[in-house]
Structure 1
Amino acid sequence: MGDEIRMWWDTWAGNEPLYKIFPDLYKIEKKKRIMLKDCFCKENGDMKWKWRWKKQRLNQKEKEELKNLEELLQQVNISGETDQWIWKPDDKGIFSVASMKSLLVKSSKIPKSFSWKWNGWVPKKVNTFMWKAVNNNIPTMLALKGRQFISEWCNISSLFAFSTKDLINIHSQVKVSKNKRKGIQAVIFTAAWCIWNPRNEAVFQNKVIGVNKMKENIKALGYLWVKNRFPCSNLEWKE
């Protein structure tokens, strides 16, 4: 029907908004926020488009864009039904977490043989951050190599990681209880988060945070996140 779709701004014909496909026509459009329903009418069953240009005579480039636009619109079937969003990756057009996961896996650079379970003791944003890191979207994650204070805090042998994948799975190699392994992974994730954020602040805001302050942040956030998510209520931090 087009009563909830903006003619130029929404993606409804083609793979991107019309203002991007036909920029010269968009420049001379009088009503750039116009709704789709106001851009056409039906006469004797035929679709007729109503254009509102700022000028009467179009130049050659604008004429070419208009021709291409009308050819594109001929491929679109506008029904009388209520507007609704559809999820293209799904055959039925219905969004689901499963279809999103499938889409991410297909576009991921990670080998299919590699998988890991998200750590429920840290926020979702930290798990997402680690996912991006293992996709090599955050290369400075490798700065965590040699951060031996993590192993000292967890009272385990020194940790050696040569990739982000190693960081994610290194807790599974420690011979301790299941809960402690999960806690070690939570500390590693927290450390990665607390190292990355100051790096961004240093680059974009010229802020400098010392190593000691960074370590304190890791302790504070790690304790807060795990305590609020760990089923045991008497969790304590001991130096």
Structure 2
Amino acid sequence: MEMDRIPTRDALRKRNINIEDSLCPLCRSEDESTEHVFTSCFIASTVWNGISSWCKIPSIFAFSIRDLLEYHTVLRGSDRKKEAVQGIIIIACRCLWRSRNKFMFSNSPIRMDIVISEVKALGFLWFSYRSRHKGIEWKDWISFVNM
């Protein structure tokens, strides 16, 4: 994502692949680039607002992929919370891209509440089993306490 290697319409066009319509299929307001899909698209903005609210952190406003990936460094709080937010942002990017692909290839509508629920579930699995901060309960994770 940071190296702009995700096959967005803009990236495919730069690789000389004939793309008739380069607009974002989700919002139809700008060309579909990596920056747009993950930071400025209405879908992404709504997901970032939902995640900010859930994690009880200031709103996530990212103007670039770098801003998004470094957001956790400006947070106040414990290292545990910063690591959790970093992982959640990465998982959310994956979920956004997956939802975009479902929309593109299966004509499946994007529901932001489903995307956020998927981020919560995958984030819990990662944080409780793969991070160095094991042992969090689902009820604590879902309310984002003890971070």
TM-score of the superposed pair, with normalisation by structure 2: 0.65
User: Is 2:142 the partner of 1:238?
Assistant: yes
Following superposition of structure 1 onto structure 2, how do residues 60-75 of structure 1 map, counting pairs within 5 Å? none
User: Is 2:54 the partner of 1:153?
Assistant: yes
Residue identity opposite 1:218 in structure 2: V
CA RMSD, Structure 1 to Structure 2 (Å): 1.7
C-alpha distance in 2 between matches for 1:169 and 1:185: 8
Cα gap change, 1:204/1:235 in structure 2, threshold over 3 Å: closer, same or farther? same
State the aligned residue count.
107
User: Is 2:30 the partner of 1:162?
Assistant: no
Question: Contact conserved, 1:190 with 1:218, CA < 8 A, in 2?
Answer: yes
Matching residue of 1:141:
38
Cα gap change, 1:212/1:145 in structure 2, threshold over 3 Å: closer, same or farther? closer
Matching residue of 1:178:
79
Structure 1 or 2, whichever has the larger Rg, is 1
Of 96, 103, 107 in structure 2, the residue corresponding to residue 195 of structure 1 is: 96
Unmatched 5+ residue regions in structure 2?
A: 7-33
TM-score of the superposed pair, with normalisation by structure 1: 0.42
Question: Contact conserved, 1:145 with 1:161, CA < 8 A, in 2?
Answer: no
Question: Contact conserved, 2:102 with 2:108, CA < 8 A, in 1?
Answer: yes
C-alpha distance in 2 between matches for 1:233 and 1:136: 32
Cα gap change, 1:209/1:160 in structure 2, threshold over 3 Å: closer, same or farther? closer
Question: Contact conserved, 2:68 with 2:89, CA < 8 A, in 1?
Answer: yes
Residue identity opposite 1:238 in structure 2: I
Question: Contact conserved, 1:201 with 1:207, CA < 8 A, in 2?
Answer: yes
Residue identity opposite 1:235 in structure 2: I
- What is the identity percentage for the equivalent residue pairs of Structure 1 and Structure 2? 33
Residue identity opposite 2:102 in structure 1: E
Question: Deviation per CA, 1:9-48, whole angstroms, max 9, x where unpaired?
Answer: xxxxxxxxxxxxxxxxxxxxxxxxxxxxxxxxxxxxxxxx
Deviation for aligned residue 1:205: 2.0
Cα gap change, 1:210/1:145 in structure 2, threshold over 3 Å: closer, same or farther? closer
Deviation for aligned residue 1:154: 1.6
Cα gap change, 1:211/1:145 in structure 2, threshold over 3 Å: closer, same or farther? closer
Question: Deviation per CA, 1:53-111, whole angstroms, max 9, x where unpaired?
Answer: xxxxxxxxxxxxxxxxxxxxxxxxxxxxxxxxxxxxxxxxxxxxxxxxxxxxxxxxxxx
Deviation for aligned residue 1:230: 2.7
- Return the structure number with greater helix share: 2
Question: Contact conserved, 2:2 with 2:65, CA < 8 A, in 1?
Answer: yes
Matching residue of 1:75:
none
Residue identity opposite 2:3 in structure 1: N
Residue identity opposite 1:203 in structure 2: M
What SS does the aligned partner of 2:95 have?
Answer: helix
